[in-house]
Amino acid sequence: VMSIEQLIKILTPPGTPVFVPTEADWLAVEAEVGTSLPIDYKHFISTFGSVYIDKFMGIYNPFATNQYLNFLKASKVQSDVLR
């Protein structure tokens, strides 16, 4: 498992991350999804915000306004598809 510190050495965070949450924001999201989210995921989002890696892979962020990167919107769509 790679730590956020190790990841930062190979993937430079943006100077100003987009859609970085507060602790209260995380609590609201976790209440909505009904579970705690992994701390490494929360560190990633807090460090990088909404990001596409190498213009190829987007990381879901529950605070993104982009519907294709928003964790909450995407998880609802995927849940509906699987039903």
19-52 pLDDT, tens digit each: 889 999 999 999 998 999 999 999 999 998 888 8
pLDDT of residue 17: 85
d(Cα 37, Cα 39) in Å, to the nearest integer? 6
pLDDT of residue 36: 94
Is-contact 48 59, C-beta < 8 A?
yes
